[in-house]
Each structure stands twice: as C-alpha cells, then as structure tokens.
Amino acid sequence: MGSLNPKVELNGRVEPGYEKVAEAFLANFERHDELGAAFCLHVGGRAVVDVWAGATGADDAPPWQEDTLQLVFSTTKGAAAVCAHLLVQRGLLDLDAPVTEYWPEFAAAGKTAVPVGWLLSHRAGLPAIDTKLSIEEVLAGTPVVEALAAQRPLWEPGSAHGYHALTYGWLVGEVVRRVTGASLGRFFADEVAAPLGLEFWIGLPEEQEHRVTTLVPSPLVPPEVADNPTLAELIRKFTGPGSLLWRALSLEGAMELEDLPYNRADVHAAELPAANGITTARSLSRLYAGLVGEVDGVRILDPDTLGRARQPRSEGPDKVLIVPTRFGFGFMLHSDFSPMLGPGSFGHAGAGGSLGFGDADAGVGFGYVMNKMHTGVAGDPRTLSLIEAVRTCL
C-alpha cells in the first residue's frame, strides 16, 4: 500500500476507519527514530490493521517483510502466563496451592509456603540468584531452575512485589513442566500457538532463524539525560552492575543487555519463557484477541479464567523497578507505568518497546514489535501514540 511518510514504504492492510492508526505507525519513524517495526490490531476477533515498514537491521539490512520475525523480550511473559492459566482452567493447577505441591525441591531456604500465584505476581522474592552461571548454563535452563529451587528469597515472600525480569520464566515454566511433563515452550506451541495458528515461538526452530531481525540496542543513559550529570548518575546507580535491577535483568551478568546476546541464534533456540519469545505483530495481536474472545472459532481462556487472571495482585512500589507497578497473575495491568487502552486492558511490554495486550471491554487484541530498542521496560512513546490512535478510532 502507499505511504503517508515519503521516507518509509508502508506495507499491509488498513480497514476504513482505522487510517489514524496507520498514520501514527508511520509517524513513529520520523518522531521516534523507528528503524523497522510491525503493528497489528484485532477488533472483535478480526484484524483491522496489519502493517509493517522499515528495515530488519541497521546499515544495509533488507526491508521488513510480511513474515519477518521479532524477538520481543518480556512481552513473552504474557504467553507464559497464558500457559499457566490454561492449566488452571483445566483443573490441573491451583494458584493458591504451594509451589512445593508440584515442585518439591522448591521448599529449600524457607519457601515451603509460597503459593503458585506469587510466582505469577512477582511476589516470591526471587528476582535474582546468588549463583553465578555462564550464558551456556542459562540457555540450558536446568542450572537456573536448580539455583532458584535452592535460592533464599531476597525479601519475605508475599510481603512486597518486585519485577522478576528473567527468573519469572523459569519459575512459571518449571511448574508447567512438573504438571504436564512438557517444557513451557513445547506446551505453548501445542496448546496455544497451534489452535490459534500463531507464528510465535519460545524456543525458535532452526529453520525459522533466517526470518529474525537484528536488534539495535539503546544506550543505558538516554541521550536526552546524558547532559544532566546528576540524573545520569542516578540512573547508573539504580541500573548499573550490582544493583538489584541489573541482577534481575542480566541474571548476574550472564545475559547482559548491552552485550546483546539476544541476537544470537543459540539464544533464539533456547527457552527463556520470560524473555526470548519470537513472533510477529500479527500473531501477538491474534493471541490476545483469542483471550478476550473468539478468533476463527477459537478461544483459549474462558471469561471466568481470564477474569481471575487480570485481577490486581501486586500494586505500588516495585522493589526491583523502584517505580510503582501493577500486575495481575502474570500480566501487566493498565497503569501509569504500563499504559494500555484502559481499565479492562492486560498484557505485557518488553524491554526496548514491544507490547502485546488485550482489552476485554473493547474486544481488542494489540500487537507491536520493533527492532530499534528504546530505553525502558514499558510506556514507550511509540506504543503510546499507537494506543491513542486506536482509542480515537474505536
């Protein structure tokens, strides 16, 4: 299709009435230094916007295609949460039961009474581990699971919440594995992605690797802050090596974002259920459309299960991210930190800018993916402009 921005060729489809969404998508390339991206919006189970533009990497990278894949960091957490709630819906998992009912080894270091629900709502006190692991051990998964089982909580479980940036995936994933006998990536592929027809992997098959974009990192201290020494130093204090946020985001340095291991094929192939999901905007939007309603006759979670999943479970100051955050069971909820469409919204953002969410009130599925990372975990200006455009069109 034609372009509203002469510098970027817009591809895809926009139904009448949603032109402002396409305009906002294109404006991101001029206003927010977008490199390559895709966006999809479902309303009432039907895709009404499905667009892509830009390049798949820096320099002379090929243009973004309809089937280009993107790693979406913590946006993966929403997919992991769906797996847990599907087991709840089937009567195979009780969020109020102690984790040890499914994973006996988890009882070590005073964690006997921690319920499954606290893993999903970031209340277990396990955002980091004391064990120093190599990146190879992290990708293997089992060493991280064993370290988490042995780990003493960093605060009294249940007394507060703090973002379990990477550990969330292995904590929830191990419970899923103990219940089903399948890894979370395998369970998601068979029980969620296949029924909905998603191109969404947690553990990418080798034959799909050629479709994945190259991530372009952002500086730790944003350019607009670098000229303010006091503010720049404050950011380094809370995010630099040794800080709890750094420990949580990098797993003691093994997955240091500034080194960008997430461009590596072996990282794509591993299962990091909190951080390395690879998908398209189309499939991300379709996933959430299939949670709030039917898509081609398929709905993954029933209204009661979804209603419980998106009830607030953790609100207020976050011991890892410092600022106030708001979570249900595994999903970010609409808040100043993670803005979505409104009070009925639930989903998850990813480091650098990606975002997937559903809105039960509006019947919306929203999926945005990109390869130029901005600083931050949520509330990216590119998604804010898209959300406002969607709100206007609805």
Give the pLDDT confidence score for residue 1 in this predicted structure. Answer: 45
What are the beta bridge partners of residue 364?
Answer: 43, 359
Give the pLDDT confidence score for residue 221 in this predicted structure. Answer: 58
Give the pLDDT confidence score for residue 230 in this predicted structure. Answer: 62
Per the structure block, which two tokens stand in for 26?
A: 């294109």
What does residue 53 show for φ and ψ, rounded to 5 degrees?
-165, 165
**Position 99, amino acid:** V
Give the pLDDT confidence score for residue 5 in this predicted structure. Answer: 43
The three-state DSSP-derived secondary structure of 315-353 is EEECCCCCCEEEECCCCEECCCCCCCCCCCEEEEECCCC
Give the pLDDT confidence score for residue 8 in this predicted structure. Answer: 87
**Region class of 379: left (phi > 0), else alpha (psi between -120 and 50), else beta:** left
Cα 81 from Cα 101, distance rounded (Å): 19
Cα 269 from Cα 255, distance rounded (Å): 15
Give the pLDDT confidence score for residue 143 in this predicted structure. Answer: 98
Give the pLDDT confidence score for residue 4 in this predicted structure. Answer: 41
DSSP 303: H
CA-CA-CA-CA torsion for 65, 71, 75, 76, nearest 10 degrees?
120
Cα 29 from Cα 31, distance rounded (Å): 6
What are the beta bridge partners of residue 346?
Answer: 333, 358
Cα 141 from Cα 45, distance rounded (Å): 35
Cα 27 from Cα 17, distance rounded (Å): 18
Give the pLDDT confidence score for residue 205 in this predicted structure. Answer: 98
Predicted TM-score (pTM) of this structure: 0.94
| Residue 258, Cβ density class (10 Å: 0-12 exposed, 13-18 middle, ≥19 buried) | exposed
Which sign does the torsion angle of CA 351, 243, 267, 188 carry? Answer: negative
- The size of the chain, in residues, is 394
Which sign does the torsion angle of CA 316, 86, 369, 292 carry? Answer: negative
Cα 307 from Cα 328, distance rounded (Å): 10
CB proximity list for 99: less than 8 A, separation 6 or greater: 106, 111, 114, 115, 116, 119, 175
Residue 252: closest CA among 260, 238, 264, 242 = 242
Which residues are catalytic, by number? 74
Contact 209, 268 (CB under 8 A): yes
Which sign does the torsion angle of CA 215, 127, 204, 292 carry? Answer: negative
What does residue 101 show for φ and ψ, rounded to 5 degrees?
-65, -30
What are the beta bridge partners of residue 54?
Answer: 36
Residue 190: strand, helix, or coil: helix
Per-residue pLDDT tens listing for the chain (394 residues): 444 444 789 999 999 999 999 999 999 999 999 999 999 999 999 999 999 999 999 989 999 999 999 999 999 999 999 999 999 999 999 999 999 999 999 999 999 999 999 999 999 999 999 999 999 999 999 999 999 999 999 999 999 999 999 999 999 999 999 999 999 999 999 999 999 999 999 999 999 999 999 999 876 555 655 566 665 555 666 667 889 999 999 999 999 866 779 999 999 999 999 999 999 999 999 999 999 999 999 999 999 999 999 999 999 999 999 999 999 999 999 999 999 999 999 999 999 999 999 999 999 999 999 999 998 778 899 999 999 999 999 9
Contact 344, 309 (CB under 8 A): no
Per the structure block, which two tokens stand in for 203?
A: 């553990």
Cα 146 from Cα 127, distance rounded (Å): 15
CA distances from 273 to 277, 303, 324, 369 (A): 7, 24, 24, 17
Per the structure block, which two tokens stand in for 91?
A: 């009567």
